[in-house]
Amino acid sequence: MGSVDRCDSLNSKDSEEFGVVTKSDSLQSDATAVGLGIEKVESLCSLDSLPTTLDPELIQGVPLSVCLSGWGKFWAATTPAPVAKRLSRRTAFYDTFLSHDWRTPRWLKFIALVVIFNSRAAALASAIVSLAVGVLRATGVLPDELWTVIFGYATFYIFLLVWQRIRDFVLRPQIVFLDKLCIDQHDERLKEKGIMGLAGFLDNTRKLTVLWSPQYFSRLWCTYELATFLRNPDQHKPLEVMPVRMCYLLFLMAFCWRILLFAYYVLIASPEILGPQAATSLRQIFPVLVIVILPMHFYKGLSLMKHIRMLPQQLQNFRVQDAQCFCCSNDHRHPESQKPLPCDRQLVFNTLRQWYGEVDEDPEGHLETFNAMVRDVMSNKMMKAACGETLPFHYAFYMVVTANIPWLTECVAQIGAGPPIPLEGFRLLVWSLRTFMDWAHMCLMMLCAMRCCVALWSRGVEWLERLPQLLVVLLLIPVQVLVMALAWIPFQLCLTLTEPDNLLPIVPFLAVLAFDVYIFKSQAQVGLKAPTIDSAPREELASKVRRLSERQKTEEEFAAHSFSA
Ramachandran angles phi, psi of 197, nearest 5°:
-100, 35
The per-residue pLDDT for 73 is 87
Q: What is the DSSP letter of 402?
A: G
What is the 3-class SS of 50-110, one letter each residue?
Answer: CCCCCCHHHCEEEEHHHHHHHHHHHHCCCCCCCCHHHHCEECCCECEEEECCCCCCHHHHH
Beginning with the edge strand found earlier in the chain, give each strand of the sheet holding 96-99 in spatial order. Answer: 89-90, 60-63, 175-177, 96-99, 208-212, 239-243
The per-residue pLDDT for 24 is 40
The per-residue pLDDT for 370 is 83
Return all residues near 274 (Cβ < 8 A) that are at least 6 apart: 282
The per-residue pLDDT for 55 is 79
The per-residue pLDDT for 21 is 42
The per-residue pLDDT for 30 is 41
Return all residues near 276 (Cβ < 8 A) that are at least 6 apart: none
The per-residue pLDDT for 26 is 42
The per-residue pLDDT for 156 is 96
448 close to 482: Cβ distance less than 8 angstroms: no
All residue ranges of the chain with pLDDT < 70 are 1-52, 79-85, 188, 195, 233-235, 270-279, 281-282, 359-361, 377-391, 522-565
The per-residue pLDDT for 7 is 41
The per-residue pLDDT for 34 is 35
The per-residue pLDDT for 408 is 95
The per-residue pLDDT for 179 is 85
The per-residue pLDDT for 25 is 42
